[in-house]
Amino acid sequence: MYKTILVHVDHSARSARRSEVAAALALDYDAHLVGAAMTGLPAFLLAPGAVRAGATVAGLPVAALRAEANRALDLFEANARAAGAPAIERRCIDDEPGMGMSMQGRYCDLLVISQSASDEFAPRLRSDFPDYVVLNAVRPVLVLPVAWTGNSVGRRITVAWNASPEAVRAIVSALPMLRRASQVDLVLFDPAGEGELHGAEPGADIALYLARHGVAVEVTVQQAGADEGAALRAFGAARNADLIVMGAYGRSRLREIVLGGMTRSMLADSAIPLWMAH
């Protein structure tokens, strides 16, 4: 069950949508909703004792950055209250957004963030923000696409299954939502190429596990070709999915950068919201 949901708050055009989706989830699961806005100020310079250790905050617009973060939180709070979120908390945090969300996420059940937007100037937001949070938050992360215009997630879910530890974590973390879904599709791409991971009947073991948790799934085995990410996006679109559940970075991030990989492909190009766990 999700009892604490953390949403990234800033002044971007997508912040209001994140807040609305997070508030709807908080209402559905009777969860405490936390909006976190990061100032971008280096936390190590503002920590107690930092100045005595020789650091300085001279030249940093501390008050202005905190005021900007609090204005974003005002909008978050208004949107969350309008959506009927049962319990709302706002946090203004002196940190870089990736590190700040990852640290705060340790004390939550779910994080809500957005894809990186290539057309938006965000000097205090690292270019690999979604990747960093997915890798470091230690909790499931809901990533909303830049161009997504939906209002809710989790009614029609596609689950990407490759028998990896990351995929297991993603599925287990999504169980409360999977149980509520009206449609759950489990898809495997090229399981024969993954050795003995899947057993005699690929998908059967995880389908049985899910059935014991009250989740009825339809299992599909497909050939993905050279681009598994494109194949997964096409499958989700064909099934009219409003959420894709998948493990993230089952192989090293460096290997994905060099050779390509499904995680980076999905974070960059998915038009369907992603539920990811590492």
Q: Do the Cβ atoms of 70 and 35 come closer than 8 Å?
A: no
This prediction has a pTM of 0.91
Regarding whether 205 and 140 lie in a shared domain, the answer is no
Q: Do the Cβ atoms of 260 and 225 come closer than 8 Å?
A: no
Regarding whether 219 and 88 lie in a shared domain, the answer is no
Query: For position 166, what pLDDT does the model report?
Result: 96
Regarding whether 98 and 194 lie in a shared domain, the answer is no
Say if 151 falls within a structural domain.
Answer: no
Regarding whether 214 and 177 lie in a shared domain, the answer is yes
Say if 128 falls within a structural domain.
Answer: yes
Query: For position 250, what pLDDT does the model report?
Result: 79
Query: For position 47, what pLDDT does the model report?
Result: 62
Reported as a single tens digit per residue, the pLDDT across 18-36 is: 999 999 999 999 999 999 9
Residue type at position 118:
S
The domain boundary residue, chosen from 144, 169, 186: 144
Regarding whether 122 and 21 lie in a shared domain, the answer is yes
Query: For position 199, what pLDDT does the model report?
Result: 72
Say if 45 falls within a structural domain.
Answer: yes
Q: What is the DSSP letter of 141?
A: E
Alpha carbon distance 261, 141 (integer Å): 18
SS3 39: coil
Say if 108 falls within a structural domain.
Answer: yes
Q: How many domains does the chain have?
A: 2
Regarding whether 259 and 184 lie in a shared domain, the answer is yes
Domain that holds residue 123: 4-144
Say if 170 falls within a structural domain.
Answer: yes
Q: Taking the chain, what is the end-to-end CA distance rounded to the nearest angstrom?
A: 19
CATH number at residue 16: 3.40.50.620
Q: Do the Cβ atoms of 125 and 38 come closer than 8 Å?
A: no
Q: What is the DSSP letter of 201?
A: S
Query: For position 42, what pLDDT does the model report?
Result: 78
- Residues of the chain short of pLDDT 50, as ranges, are 51-56, 254-260
Query: For position 195, what pLDDT does the model report?
Result: 61
Regarding whether 166 and 116 lie in a shared domain, the answer is no
